[in-house]
């Protein structure tokens, strides 16, 4: 029922991307603005690729899932709401899975997600979380969390009429985690009146291997189809993102990464 409600068609042809007047007009996924049920997302403006390379800010890079890339994905990349816009009363979180390899310990100093947005201004601080054991219906257990200085830098890419930014959380204190599967959320926030109507969609990436992923060239380096969406605003509680976005609409993996050092 939830998926049916989320995938109500607006029109079957391209329409200009409009800033919604309130929460009741905002969709959970970007594809819902420009697709009819059963059809893949179609961008409303040409894709603008960035130069090929693992992002310079991911150094030393622990992992990067890859770039938002309409041309290289099958299905085309989408976007899922991930942020807090208090003026229009929307909160939603995307939790992307990542794996620390067997026998390794990671010391994480920065976490980041790539976000499609119509706003160039965000709060000076951002919330971040690392959980374990996330499943359908459950957020698992938080192993590390906090607030951090929020970086907001354009990547050079765009889609759905929105500009893509890297939302970088520079941790106040490094976090050490051992081998295992974890779930990352960096929660983009804009909570002042100047942010009214701003939208924050975490960039989906649909390429295996990911475009410019790190480590490079390995298919499935980080988990596929193991991301979750949680939002009281959209009435969805810890649901796999492939179910939220619907068949043929992407959301198999999200564009995100971590900076730090790996040790045995």
In 3D space, the residue among 176, 43, 187, 46 whose CA is nearest the CA of residue 112 turns out to be: 187
Residue 163 lies in a domain: yes
Mean pLDDT by 10 residues, the chain (264 residues): 29 30 65 47 41 82 90 76 85 96 97 92 92 98 95 91 94 97 93 79 91 84 94 94 85 96 94
Q: Report pLDDT for 37.
A: 38
Is residue 179 one of the residues assigned to a domain?
A: yes
Q: Answer whether residue 59 is part of any domain.
A: yes
Q: For residues 192 and 146, what is the distance between their CA atoms, to the nearest angstrom?
A: 21
pLDDT of residue 48: 46
Write down the pLDDT at residue 44: 37
Residue 120 resides in a domain: yes
pLDDT of amino acid 49: 46
- Full residue range of the structural domain in which residue 95 is found: 44-263
pLDDT for the residue 85:
81
Alpha carbons 264 and 255: distance in angstroms, whole number: 26
Q: How does DSSP assign 183-221, residue by residue?
A: EEEEEEE--SGGGTT--EEEEB---SSPTT-BSTT-TTS
How far, in Å, are 55, 56, 73, 113, 155 from residue 52 at the CA level?
A: 9, 11, 16, 18, 12
Question: By the 8 A CB rule, do 65 and 205 touch?
Answer: yes
What whole-number distance in Å separates Cα of residue 205 and Cα of residue 253?
Answer: 6
Residue 191 domain-assigned (yes or no): yes
Closest to 91 (Cα-Cα) out of 248, 235, 213? 235
Query: Is 23 among the domain residues?
Result: no
Q: Please report the pLDDT score of residue 117 as a whole number.
A: 92
- What's the confidence (pLDDT) of residue 146? 96
- Residue 127 placed within a domain: yes
pLDDT of residue 24: 55
How many domains are there within the chain?
A: 1
Residue 228: CA count within 13 A, CB half-sphere? 23
Give the C-alpha distances (Å, rounded to integers) separating 82 from 70, 95, 116, 184, 204: 19, 9, 10, 12, 11
Whole-angstrom Cα distance, residue 159 to residue 147? 29
The pLDDT of residue 23 = 55
H-only helix segments in the chain: 2-6, 241-245
Structure tokens belonging to residue 60: 């030393």
256 located within any domain:
yes
pTM of the shown model: 0.83
């Amino acid at each position: 029922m939830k998926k049916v409600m989320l995938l109500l068609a607006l029109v079957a042809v391209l329409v200009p991307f409009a800033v919604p007047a309130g929460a009741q007009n905002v969709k959970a996924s970007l594809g819902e603005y420009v697709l009819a049920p059963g059809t893949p997302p179609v961008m409303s403006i040409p894709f603008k690729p960035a130069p090929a390379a693992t992002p310079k800010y991911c150094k030393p890079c622990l992992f990067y899932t890859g770039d938002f890339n309409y041309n290289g994905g099958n299905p085309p990349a989408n976007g899922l709401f991930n942020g807090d816009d208090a003026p229009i009363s929307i909160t939603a979180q995307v939790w992307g899975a990542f794996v620390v390899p067997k026998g390794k310990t990671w010391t994480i100093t920065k976490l980041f997600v790539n976000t499609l947005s119509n706003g160039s201004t965000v709060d000076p601080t951002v919330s971040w979380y690392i959980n374990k054991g996330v499943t359908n219906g459950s957020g698992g257990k938080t192993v590390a969390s906090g607030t951090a200085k929020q970086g907001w830098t354009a990547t050079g890419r765009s889609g759905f009429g929105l500009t893509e930014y890297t939302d970088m959380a520079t941790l106040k204190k490094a976090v050490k985690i051992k081998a295992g599967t974890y779930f990352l959320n960096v929660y983009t926030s804009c909570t002042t009146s100047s942010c009214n109507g701003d939208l924050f969609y975490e960039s989906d990436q649909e390429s295996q291997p990911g475009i410019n992923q790190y480590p490079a060239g390995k298919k499935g380096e980080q988990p596929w189809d193991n991301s979750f969406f949680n939002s009281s605003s959209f009435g969805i509680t810890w649901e796999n993102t492939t179910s939220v976005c619907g068949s043929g609409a992407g959301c198999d993996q999200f564009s995100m990464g971590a900076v730090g050092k790996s040790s045995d």
